[in-house]
Chains A and B, each alone.
Chain A
Amino acid sequence: MTDRNFAYVRTEEAPRMPPPSDTHGPVHWLKENILSTMNDFSSPAKTVKSVVMMLLTVLSVLSAYAVISGMLTFLVVNGTFSIPEGVSGADACRENGGACWPFIAAKMRLMIYGAYPGEELWRVDVVYVLLAIGIAWVVWEKAPARGLVGALMLTAYPIVAFILLTGGALEGSWGAKGVWAVIGLALFGVGIAADKGVGGEALNAFSGAFKAIGGLLVGIVLVGAIFSIEFGLEPVRTSLWGGLLVTFVVALTGIVASLPLGIVLALGRRSQLPVVRMLSVIFIEFWRGVPLITVLFMSSVMLPFFLPPDTEFDKLLRALIGVALFSSAYMAEVVRGGLQAIGKGQYEGGMSLGLSYWQQMRLIILPQALVLVIPGIVNSFIALFKDTTLVLIIGLFDLLGAVQNQALKDPEWINPTAGTTGYIVVAFMFWVFCFGMSRYSQAMERKLYRGHKR
């Protein structure tokens, strides 16, 4: 084959030429993206448009320059990065007039852990690291056993985090736990027996309810038992928690609790059973009708009057309950929006296959409805994450509170720029988390795309 050489057949590849200069490079980019809107002078109207576009472009470039250079001047050029010998940190920052980074360094511990005791900080670190690993694992699509890790993150992780953060070893009588466990097991047993037809038709209809309630009781007792085990950890009361720790605990509890609660409420609101429907509507409309700030304030100011003075009803727990109930009401409405978008045929198809109500929901309706409302769900999550700053109302110092009420009130550090620097750092941290959630939700939408968009 190769021995036949023809003069007109190339034996080597022709050298590759660069593409024409007007199809690539910065000049092309400029022409395509910027100049194309302002180079049309063919008629008076188009000339006016081009001139206006030119002016607008110049203006935006100038304002972008002003903002960016202003930020850089404050953050870097005039910023204080180290404290000279013999000068206090506050004076050094006042002298330079820019961002006060030593202040952030000194207060970083407050911003991340709050007043959590120094020797126990590793416990918070473990919780943070486990959270990061768990989330990365679930988010990374090629990771093995993602389902298992996801399930562990929703079940085992909260228990581990609770024990690590509080120290575990809750008080509570083992006798009571035993009694509840026996009741739970008995109910579960009745459920199984009813399934097998013992007790006839009437009991059989409720076998699911018996099993569910029994299982729930046993589960609660089990978790309670784990919480009361003595692990030898120093107890740390929640009033010492603060900064990012409180932000995460409140936001994650709200997020994790609001989705299932919201789904149940949304289904309840569309239920055929009038009592269930009424209760759901009342719950949703009550919690949506009250501002979160009021919920928190009531829980902090009014609740103590209804409790005996010695009961220490944890402030953080109050906030968690308030936030979870509040956000589940919003979540219910988001999910209901998804449910309404599912055609009647889907329900009828499920029924014609002989699926029970819960099977229909689990296998047909919810997988479609939830995908539809991912933007709404994540919207609620982001709003909730940012709303956590309101816990300041009840004297809990979250990330923002740690800067505003702990760091900035230290007389050693008061100076003209500490506040601005602190707020910029907090804003940046919030932005990173919210932006991360937003990007993840977009990736999820693309992945779960089923061609229902037209």
Chain B
Amino acid sequence: MKKLAFIGALAGAGLIAGMASAATLDDVKAKGFVQCGVSQGLPGFSNQNDAGEWSGIDVAVCRAVAAAIFGDAQATRFTPLSAKERFTALSSGEIDILSRNTTWTMTRDTQLGLNFAGTNYYDGQGMMVPKALGVTSALELSGAAICTNTGTTTELNITDFFRANNMDFSLIAIENSDEVVRAYDSGRCDVFTTDRSGLAAERLKLTAPDDHMVLPEIISKEPLGPVVRQGDDQWFNIVRWSFFAMINAEELGVSSENVDEMKSSDNPNIQRLVGVDGNFGTEMGLTNDWAYNIIKHVGNYGEVYEATVGPNTPLKLERGVNALWSKGGLQYAPPIR
């Protein structure tokens, strides 16, 4: 009898777990916060300050969603996840959003039961060299010794790049990322390659960061973005449009500082964005000031970028491809109308 009950409970648990993807918004509203999966620590993307509070460009996406739903960017809880457990945590319902520098690839999008809601950072593999080497392009690197991490796609990409350009190279692959930096810093290799966002952080560990430069070539596409479970279109839309709202705000010049004045703007695009005109929020299951709350409490995309990874932060990452489409970049959001 007891055994039967136990099996029944197990089956029930399985069933409920299967239906977890139904109305995430209702669940989130009921519990009062957004549970967000982030990295275990990646400078500028999701890292903690001296008091253990999270910040970063990935964290900002979660705060934006929380602000859109609750009008409170702090209504978030963060689950630090390793690369291995991130997708399980999302599909098991442990987290509502995965915003953990996750590259949008076809396999992940089509085979894992997940949906990517956008690209909050266009990353790509880059190369760092000492300025003293006198190189200005990766194509001049024939014969170079290259430091990278073992067994990552980074290793694969750099091999492909050098083979495709018929250049000689020797690869020094090291397991621990701190040791890779130390090897490069001590001159064991001429080139240090990893994702450009990672290069910016690793560069700070060098004894003389200013003596090194990142080459212009980008040899892989790494669009990083927030991920949600497949099958809950309402939640998918909320996450996607919370992010789009930040980009649209930047494009329209609405920032956390002027958003209150912008409420009386004559521009219909701005009126729709800040919720003066139309019912864009309620149609999504939110309130009409959803985007106003995002901009007010989190900021527009440009503000977030400047505060987390931009040129004035220690990471000093230029906007580059992450500039708005109108300024020669790739960040583009469909209009709110």
Contacts and interface: CB of A to CB of B under 8 A. Distances in A.
Contacts of A310: 27, 93
B31 to A, nearest CB: 8
Interface string A107-122: 1011000111010000
B20 interface: yes
A432 B51 CA distance: 25
Given A309-B20, A309-B93, A397-B80, A114 B52 contact: yes
B88 A118 contact: no
A301 B52 CA distance: 24
B51 A411 contact: no
Nearest to A306: B13
Given A94-B207, A301-B85, A406 B41 contact: yes
A297 B207 CA distance: 37
A411 B50 contact: no
Contacts of A412: 49, 314
A97 B207 contact: yes
A406 B41 CA distance: 6
Interface string B251-277: 000000000000000000000000000
Interface stretch (A143-151, A328-336, A343-351, A414-422): A414-422
A304 B178 contact: no
A97 B41 CA distance: 24
Contact of A309 (B17, B44, B52, B205): B17
Interface string B76-91: 0111111011001100
B interface, size bucket: 35 or more
Given A414-B314, A416-B185, A305 B17 contact: yes
Interface string A380-405: 00000000000011110100010011
Interface in B187-211: 201, 204-207, 209
Contacts of A273: none
Interface in B71-113: 77-82, 84-85, 88-89, 92-94
B79 A416 contact: no
A280 B137 CA distance: 66
B13 A307 contact: yes
B206 A416 contact: yes
Contact of A90 (B47, B50, B88, B314): B314
Contacts of A414: 43, 201, 204-205, 314
Contacts of A394: 85
B50 A107 contact: yes
A439 interface: no
Nearest to A408: B41
Contact of A304 (B51, B53, B94): B94
Contacts of B93: 304, 309-310
Contact of A409 (B17, B42, B81): B42
Contact of A300 (B27, B49, B85, B207): B85
Contacts of A39: none
A110 B52 contact: yes
A409 B48 contact: yes
Given A94-B207, A239-B77, A410-B43, A115 B52 contact: yes
A259 B80 CA distance: 32
Nearest to A237: B77
Given A409-B41, A409-B43, A301 B88 contact: yes
A395 B52 contact: no
B205 A416 contact: yes
B47 A410 contact: yes
Nearest 6 pairs of A and B residues by beta carbon: A115-B52, A309-B93, A409-B41, A304-B92, A414-B204, A309-B20
22 contacts: A97-B207, A110-B48, A115-B53, A118-B51, A239-B77, A301-B88, A304-B88, A304-B89, A304-B94, A305-B14, A305-B17, A309-B17, A392-B40, A395-B40, A406-B41, A406-B52, A410-B49, A411-B43, A411-B44, A411-B47, A414-B43, A415-B205
Interface of A: 88, 90, 94, 97, 106-107, 109-110, 114-116, 118, 237, 239-240, 242, 297, 300-301, 304-310, 392-395, 397, 401, 404-406, 408-412, 414-416, 419
Given A110-B52, A408-B41, 14 more contacts: A116-B52, A305-B88, A305-B92, A308-B13, A395-B40, A397-B80, A401-B40, A405-B41, A409-B41, A410-B48, A411-B313, A411-B315, A414-B204, A416-B185
